[in-house]
A and B are shown apart, each in its own frame.
Chain A
Amino acid sequence: MLKNYLKIAFKVFLRRKFFTFISLFGISLTLVVLMVVASFFDHFFGPFPPEVKQDRTLFVFGIHLEYPPEQEHMGTDSQDLSLYFVDHFIRPLDHVEKVSVREEFAHSVTHYNDRGDKVDSWLKHTDAAFWDILEFEFLEGNAFTEREVEEADRVAVINEATRRELFGDEPAVGRIVKVDKQRLRVVGVVANVPIFRHGSFADIWVPYSINDRFRARPLTGGWWDLCGEFQAMILAEKRSDLPLIQEEFRQRLSVLEFPKEELRVIGVHGYAETFFEYFSHELFDLEERGERYPRLFLGFIIGGMILFMILPTLNLVNLNLSRIVERASEIGVRKAFGASSRALVGQFVVENVLLTLMGGLLGLAASAGVLRFLSEIELVPYVQFHMNLRIFYYGMLLALFFGVFSGVYPAWKMSRLHPVESLRRRKK
């Protein structure tokens, strides 16, 4: 049965090449745009090297201090974490395999190479566990070790682009980079990490201990001890442990208060969250956390996609509707020989789905081209957009959805044609 449907469908496609072309053009075009957008999202949120263990990674981006209402500071205040905080509230959590600290994202510095050219690099201060949680691709040398961090050795890992700017493409291990008035010895060179990878991105990675501002401060016993310069990255033992860690962390903080200080703090709030959760909360600019917001954000994305698909869908529906007449005789004959409306709807939907899937394949091929082009013009530094299985899968799913959606109404209308009426028109 299906085979027959497909045969008929192909015959129909070939009979009216212009219509087939319009449909395919519309479908593949829509998919190209959606695919490119999806690919951006995927590169932003998806597990790409070096963040391949993303599905069991949590972040603590900071803590919020809650002041009593009568104090001048209103509401809450957001602070980065101190080493003390990480050691006392994050490392002891159950189900945690590794914890890494790093400075908030990365910061850009200007330095000069031996020829006196200006070089701008993103610098990130971090620790040794960073290299265990993330899987960087080393082109030469190695990461810095725990001992090097402890002893504040002036070492650095640089990326390929920085190596090119500083040393041409020559081997760089053992050579010196001068950044922030410090002479750092290169111990390793890694492949470029796109700026989308918020957790790992930088041009130069150095041990946090080489800069005084990241060293541990003497403790004062107040809430100020919790605040510092860091964010933490937590690798859980298993993916299923994530909620447990989140809950335990929340509870540990909920008992904290500092009522006796000059500036009173009545509550400390902090959240261990995935990057997607963090991003959705930031987007809605909320201090309150909850499952609602990531879902809401996802809803917005899907809503946006559907909105974008309205026009192409309408177009396809319109085309299909106008072609009813063309098929009237066929429908009449089939009905006269006892085909049910449902069978006819099935047939037309299958036809439409076939068409959209063909459009989908075309669209995927075109998006691969567009993505390659976008990578080549370096739209986003260091990002190599390419198709992957996940995107392919989403694309085909979209095409399918598209096909069913735009096929049902015309099919239903077609199947309702009266056999006599449609046979009469056949005389044309």
Chain B
Amino acid sequence: MRHVFKLVWNRRRTNLLIGVELFFSFLILCAVVTTGVYFAHTYRLPLGFSYAQVWDIYINEQKAIDKEARKEMRTQILLALEEFEEIEAAAYVNKVPFGDGFGSRLVYTYEGKSIGIRPRRNFVTDDLDEVLNLELIEGRWFNREDEGIRGVPVVINREFSDALFGTEASLGKEIFRSDPVFPESKRQGPYRVVGVIADFRGDDFSPSAPFLFERCSMNDGYIPNHLLIRLRPGTRAVFGEKLLERMQGIARDWSFQVETLSDHRSDNLRLHLSFLLFGGIVAGLLIAMVGLGMVGVLWQNVAQRTGEIGLRRALGGTAGRISAQFLGELLVIATLAVVPSTMLIAQLPFYGWLEYVPGEVYMGGIFTAALLIYLLVIACALYPSWLASRVQPVEALHCE
């Protein structure tokens, strides 16, 4: 074993280059494999809501309009929807599932203590629980009765509750929030916890992380532009035309765009998969290139070291041991490349990156990538080391 290290050291120049190549290959593999493992992991988690039969209507409103007039029209639209028996429930939401994601930089604190992870959030009006069939495990969803009471009502998920309140009951607690980018800005709040849901993940690839819904009152200065509606099962797509006409009757100069959450979901799936596919193809081809290059270099090595091999054969080394030696040398180089890059990659979580990626996913990704690198190295070494083992002592000694 020691002499394998020595042999590697003796040819450090050439080996350094191979090592550096493997180092970069491993980094690339890690990135792609971890992403893949992460996607597979999150895809299997429950979404926490149901998206079938839900439409998303985006309202493109006139910007230069009086705030009161806008509020009035928004309220009227919501009222108008109640006339339709096809519609079960409707709510304005700031961000739509399967859309841009719910990330936020805001920090929420309870009695001066904050959660380690930035929670994700959404800003919504009443009745969203009915639209998305959210499952409440404690308390209730916010409603009109919350109007005017001190503290903006919020509904949080269990993870949020565990992170901020631990084992304490979360209902009725008051929390505050602040914006770390503008530390001088006012601390906002209080926010009053009125309910806890099991979980809410914005899309198939979102992590299971602290989440909170803030209540938007129709008296607020800003009302979100997405309108989510749940339709009675069996409602046909043509209903959209009727709906659009009604809304356009209320707001003549606004435009509306109707989409379904199922469409959003398939778009989102396609986006993630094509991203992964592109990364995978590029990484795969790069690695294939590195592999072929390595075969070439090793081949050349074997040719160069005929003398050394011949000597070993003459002194009684078996063909198998010689193959093993070549393979061993390469495995040593691979280890020397994998260890520092693993150390490098292991730093990332400490810098606050990848905070949503669970440790086991991350470890799994690195482990799989390392496994792949070793497989690659072994595959590349097979042919050249077989060649090496076939060197005849006579031929080798002849050349000296």
Contact = CB atoms under 8 A, between A and B. Distances in A.
Given A29-B289, A318-B21, A229 B63 contact: yes
B296 A317 contact: no
B84 interface: no
A30 B285 CA distance: 9
Given A110-B256, A118-B258, A213-B253, A310 B24 contact: yes
Most chain B beta-carbon neighbours within 10 Å: one of A82, A120, A229, A314: A314
Contact of A427 (B185, B299, B399): B399
Given A26-B293, A314-B20, A118 B240 contact: yes
B21 A314 contact: yes
B296 A18 contact: yes
Given A109-B257, A181-B252, A427-B399, A318 B18 contact: yes
B322 to A, nearest CB: 19
Most chain A beta-carbon neighbours within 10 Å: one of B237, B257, B293, B296: B293
Interface stretch (B2-10, B191-199, B241-249): B241-249
Interface string A219-246: 0000000011100000000000000000
Interface string A4-34: 0000000000000011001001100110010
A312 B252 contact: no
A170 interface: no
Nearest to B58: A108
Interface stretch (B121-129, B203-211, B300-308): B300-308
Given A229-B64, A322-B301, A325-B303, A25 B282 contact: no
A180 B248 contact: yes
Nearest to A310: B24
Contact of A74 (B182, B252, B301): B182
B368 to A, nearest CB: 20
B24 A314 contact: yes
B281 to A, nearest CB: 9
A331 interface: no
Nearest to B24: A311
Interface string A99-112: 00000000111111
Contacts of A107: 60, 255, 257
A217 B300 contact: no
A326 interface: yes
Nearest to B182: A74
Interface string B270-312: 0000100000001001100110110111011101100000000
B34 interface: no
B253 A212 contact: yes
Contact of A229 (B62, B182, B257, B290): B62
Given A74-B185, A319-B293, A322-B296, A116 B241 contact: yes
Contact of A315 (B259, B282, B293, B301): B293
A30 B290 CA distance: 12
A20 to B, nearest CB: 10
A161 B238 CA distance: 21
Contacts of A315: 21, 289-290, 293
A311 B21 CA distance: 6
A254 interface: no
A323 interface: yes
24 contacts: A18-B296, A18-B299, A22-B293, A25-B292, A80-B63, A107-B255, A108-B257, A110-B240, A110-B244, A111-B244, A120-B257, A181-B249, A211-B253, A212-B252, A213-B62, A311-B286, A314-B21, A315-B293, A318-B18, A318-B21, A319-B293, A321-B17, A322-B297, A428-B399
Q: Top 10 nearest A-B pairs by Cβ distance? A: A322-B300, A213-B62, A315-B293, A181-B248, A110-B258, A213-B253, A26-B289, A322-B297, A109-B255, A22-B292
Interface of B: 14, 17-18, 20-21, 24-25, 28, 58, 60, 62-65, 182, 185, 237-238, 240-241, 244-245, 248-249, 252-259, 274, 282, 285-286, 289-290, 292-293, 295-297, 299-301, 303-304, 399
